[in-house]
Structure 1
Amino acid sequence: MSKKIFSGVQPSGNLHLGNYLGAIKNFVELQNVKENQCIFCVVDLHAITVKQEPKELKKNIRETAATFIACGIDPTKSIIFNQSMVSAHSEAAWILSCVSRIGWLNRMTQFKEKAGKDKEKASIGLYSYPVLMAADILLYDATHVPVGDDQKQHLELCRDIAQKFNNDFNVQNFLKVPEPLIQKQFSRIMSLKDGMKKMSKSDASDLSRINLTDSKEEISNKVKKAKTDTLPLPENVEALVERPEAENLLGIYASLKNQNLENSINEFKKQNFSEFKKKLSDALTEKIEPISKEIKRLLNDEKYLDSILLAGSDKADKIASKKIKEMKELVGF
């Protein structure tokens, strides 16, 4: 069955292995299913929910587009665009925010985590961000949305908003209620320095992550210094309980090799970490080094990247402007 897939990535700069294995690798696989129609958005409107340096944001938008392409997303097969170039996103977000309920947004755990203790100082944008995310998805009649654990709650909200709009305006199935596409394995890549923390660009230590722009030497150095424990590698999955660093490194290797965790464990059981780390470093270099070189090549051709984003935004606008026109008519505008 054909799927219409929508997903977005924030242009935060310096995308890393967690972004690749947890999302972008899956995007490429979804795109390569002939029946699927894929729309991948650089969500720059979401990025400004926290203060951005304008020049840096512009650079990061191009870098995210370059990363999509370098990882294998093909602009002739998929739509790649940046959100702010399609005005329907902002218009639909406002209409849907008038349908959404404060109680729904108050339940969003991600806002509580990002706003911290002083919620009064957080922006309204950070609070209402999930409504904009719903608009992003619903404008394209997406049937499926790839989500990680941290976005499942937002997709549930999107489904609630779609159903309420349809009920309020008595238009069954006008806004399509999307299904989640949950990556069951390796959707959450952890820090190389702490197997209990998600790999993140915001971590103060660059040694905590493999950046998609890292060189062979940088990858090798980071893997060597990655935190492990004193035991040999386990004989089975059950033995990984309370060994988060071992589980994370074996999971990364398994994902890179497109095999399940059990196969990776069988390959290295009872070995010490130094031998395994050599193999992991080789697997990472084989996958990341070509991506890194291609990102750097593409970043030297800003005109090409801008042309891809412009062409993608034109295609996205044709779809979204039709939907927003219909939404406005239903509302009474």
Structure 2
Amino acid sequence: MKIFWNRTLHRFCSTKYFSTHATESISKYPRRIFSGIQPTGAIHLGNYLGAIAQWVKLQNEGENIILSIADLHSMTLPHDPKKLRTNILEMTATLLGCGIDPTKTVLFQQSTVPEHTQISWCLGCICTMPRLSHLPQYKEKSKDLKDIPLGLFIYPVLQAADILTYKATHVPVGEDQVQQIQLSQELARMFNSRFGDTFPIPHAIITGSEYARLRSLRDPAKKMSKSDPDPKSRICITDKPEDIVRNIKKAVTDFTSQVTFDPEERPGVSNLISIHSFVTNEPVDKICRDVQNFNTGQYKLIVADAVVEYLRPIQERISHYLSDERHLLEVLKNGQEEASEISSKHWEEVQHKLGLKFKIRKQEKIKTHG
């Protein structure tokens, strides 16, 4: 996978470091990056470039990364247990196929490390209901629900625990996701203020704005999303070639046949050019010059062919890993052991700070006379 990424990462995976409280020093804590991904279905091209590519790049730069397959978060809404088990293994194979190296990155299944839920409970005891009810994620996910599961309401606390359990100093997020770690920052400050310095204040690593250019194929006014009920709205990295071709052929464009890049006036065609640029590592201007004699219908086929070829080696690696379930389970087990070694030490510290753990003092021997 490292060979495959060399060509594209330099241009499309550049990062800038951002903090809402940049004056707070985290130099006393070793630099550690944490991120997670829910096993809730296939990864689309936007996820791949905006998240997984970011992790691979940081990994290959020698960063200390802990990566969680967040299965507990995928239970906040009704789920099929059998499907969840399948999704966990498929996500593991996908991450490995995309370049995550378990000898360089700690890759594990969230629910196998109990410190996540233990520290989540402790953080939940200092968080307030009004604070959680104002979170935009909760409002968005609960707007169509009559009965709201408690897990959906408190999952941001578990999200904060995921980060703080490892004393992570940085979390990769998109520009529209910065608010998701703000609660983690607040809870870290509250805990430190009440019980003594324990957690670093996690900072966000903001991915480049290029990823925001990937839009829905059916509605280019929206971002490409795996939650869109229309499967033709996205390109998943495990899609069959014929499905990729079909989805791109049906992509919404406009009535102008010429291929030009204008995201404001021609978002549909511009989205296809962006996708083409990502998978070929060619500048947008060059692409437009090269295809100036093609109409949009013909151009869609060019884009489809480029995407199919780009994803082919990734799909082959994913299929290889999926054929060896024992290896996938071994990767997760090894990752769990590495994660637990770190989290257990931090949990013990939290227990002492909260008065949950006693320090046993050695009794002095009483000398007797007589």
Q: TM-score, normalised by structure 1?
A: 0.91
Give 2:116's match in structure 1, choosing from 84, 89, 104.
89
Between the aligned partners of 2:152 and 2:176, the Cα distance in structure 1 is 15
1:186 aligns with 2:213: no
1:17 aligns with 2:45: yes
Task: Report the 3-state secondary structure (helix = DSSP H, G, I; strand = E; otherwise coil) of the residue aligned with 1:39.
Answer: strand
User: Structure 1 stretch 18-27 or stretch 90-99: which is displaced more?
Assistant: 18-27
Identity %: 40
Partner of 1:298: 321
Partner of 2:13: none
1:178-219 CA-to-partner distances (Å, cap 9, x unmatched) read 111111233343221111223233333322121221122222
Partner of 2:310: 287
Partner of 1:310: 333
How well do the aligned residues superpose, as a CA RMSD in angstroms?
2.1
User: Structure 1 stretch 179-188 or stretch 258-267: which is displaced more?
Assistant: 258-267
1:140 aligns with 2:163: no
Partner of 2:234: 209
Between the aligned partners of 1:246 and 1:296, the Cα distance in structure 2 is 32
AA aligned to 1:208 is: S
Give 1:117 deviation, angstroms. 4.2
1:108 aligns with 2:108: no
Give 1:5 deviation, angstroms. 1.3
Task: Report the 3-state secondary structure (helix = DSSP H, G, I; strand = E; otherwise coil) of the residue aligned with 2:72.
Answer: helix
Structure number with larger C-alpha Rg:
2
Task: Report the 3-state secondary structure (helix = DSSP H, G, I; strand = E; otherwise coil) of the residue aligned with 1:303.
Answer: helix
Label 1:191 to 1:319 Cα distance change in 2 as closer, same or farther (>3 A): same
Partner of 2:149: 123
User: Structure 1 stretch 51-60 or stretch 183-192: which is displaced more?
Assistant: 183-192
Task: Report the 3-state secondary structure (helix = DSSP H, G, I; strand = E; otherwise coil) of the residue aligned with 2:130.
Answer: helix
Give 1:265 deviation, angstroms. 5.2
Number of residue pairs the alignment of both structures matches:
326
Between the aligned partners of 2:283 and 2:118, the Cα distance in structure 1 is 44
Partner of 1:156: 182
Give 1:298 deviation, angstroms. 1.6
Task: Report the 3-state secondary structure (helix = DSSP H, G, I; strand = E; otherwise coil) of the residue aligned with 1:311.
Answer: helix
Label 1:185 to 1:252 Cα distance change in 2 as closer, same or farther (>3 A): farther
> Gapped runs of 5+ residues in structure 2?
1-26, 357-370
Q: TM-score, normalised by structure 2?
A: 0.82
Task: Report the 3-state secondary structure (helix = DSSP H, G, I; strand = E; otherwise coil) of the residue aligned with 2:205.
Answer: strand
Between the aligned partners of 2:59 and 2:293, the Cα distance in structure 1 is 39
Partner of 2:21: none
The answer on whether the counterparts of 2:254 and 2:268 sit within 8 Å (CA) in structure 1 is yes
Label 1:117 to 1:60 Cα distance change in 2 as closer, same or farther (>3 A): closer
AA aligned to 1:5 is: I
Give 1:3 deviation, angstroms. 4.3
User: Structure 1 stretch 21-30 or stretch 260-269: which is displaced more?
Assistant: 260-269
Between the aligned partners of 1:308 and 1:92, the Cα distance in structure 2 is 25
AA aligned to 2:143 is: G
> Gapped runs of 5+ residues in structure 1?
none
